[in-house]
Chains A and B, each alone.
Chain A
Amino acid sequence: QVQLQESGPGLVKPSETLSLTCVVSGTSISGYYWSWIRQSPGKGLEWIGYISYTWGTKYNPSLESRVAISVDTSKNHLSLRLSSVTAADTAVYYCARDFDPFEHWGQGTLVTVSS
C-alpha cells in the first residue's frame, strides 16, 4: 500500500525559503513521477511541479523561478524548496504519486508564512 507523509516547518517568515520533505513507503521512488500540489482558501488547488528520478522535472511556470524539487532514492523521499515566500504561499502542501492524474496523495502539511 502506497503511503506518502509530508513534513516540515509549519511557520516560515516572509522572504525566507520553505522546505518540505515527503517520505514514500510501500513503493520504490524510482520509476514513478512524484508531484507537489498546494491548496489554499484563496487560490484553491495549484500544481507546483513534478519530478522523475529518470526523466527530470517540470514546474508550473507561475512558480518556476522560485521552486526546486528533488528526490533522494537512498532515503526514498522527495523534497520541495520554495524561495522568497510571501503570505500568498500560505497553504496546505501535498505530495502525490504520478501526475495527470495525481493517483496517491499524502495527508498534507500546513505551512503558514508570517513574521
Chain B
Amino acid sequence: QSVLTQPPSVSGAPGQTVTISCTGSSSNIGAGYGVHWYQQLPGTAPKLLIYGNNNRPSGVSDRFSDSKSGTSASLAITGLQAEDEADYFCQSYDSSLSAYVFGGGTKVGVL
C-alpha cells in the first residue's frame, strides 16, 4: 500500500487528454511538499517528467502538465500519442515517515 495513491490504469484515444491523480495526506502533499512525476517506458528506468510547479526537464514535451490542490496532485497528458504508453509515478516527501515516497504507479494505455 503506497503512501501516495494513484489509479492503476487510465486509457484514452489518440489525441485525447488523460489525467492521473495522486492522492496524499496532510503529512506529504497537504503539508506543501513538492510533487514530482516520472515516466517509465517498458523495460527502462523511470525518467523525471515534471518537477516542482509544472517545470519540465529539457526535451520533455509541453503536452505534459501538472497541478496540485490540497492533499492531491494531478498529471495531465494532452494530445495523447502512442509513445505515451508507459507507467507514471508521482513522488513527494512525507514528514511522518521522514522519507521520500512514491505513488504506486499508473499505466497509461492508448486505445
Contact = CB atoms under 8 A, between A and B. Distances in A.
A16 interface: no
A60 B101 CA distance: 10
A5 to B, nearest CB: 11
A63 to B, nearest CB: 9
Given A94-B45, A100-B34, A103-B48, A47 B99 contact: yes
Interface string A51-66: 0000000001110000
Which secondary structure dominates chain B's binding surface? strand
B97 A61 contact: yes
B47 interface: yes
A76 interface: no
Contacts of A44: 2, 89, 102-105
Chain A interface size range:
10 to 19
B57 interface: yes
Interface in B79-104: 89, 91, 93, 97-104
Interface residues of B, number: 24
A69 to B, nearest CB: 14
B107 interface: no
Nearest to B57: A103
Interface stretch (A17-25, A77-85, A105-113): A105-113
B102 A47 contact: yes
Given A44-B104, A47-B101, A47-B102, 7 more contacts: A45-B105, A46-B102, A61-B98, A94-B45, A100-B100, A102-B36, A102-B91
Interface of A: 39, 44-47, 60-62, 94, 99-108
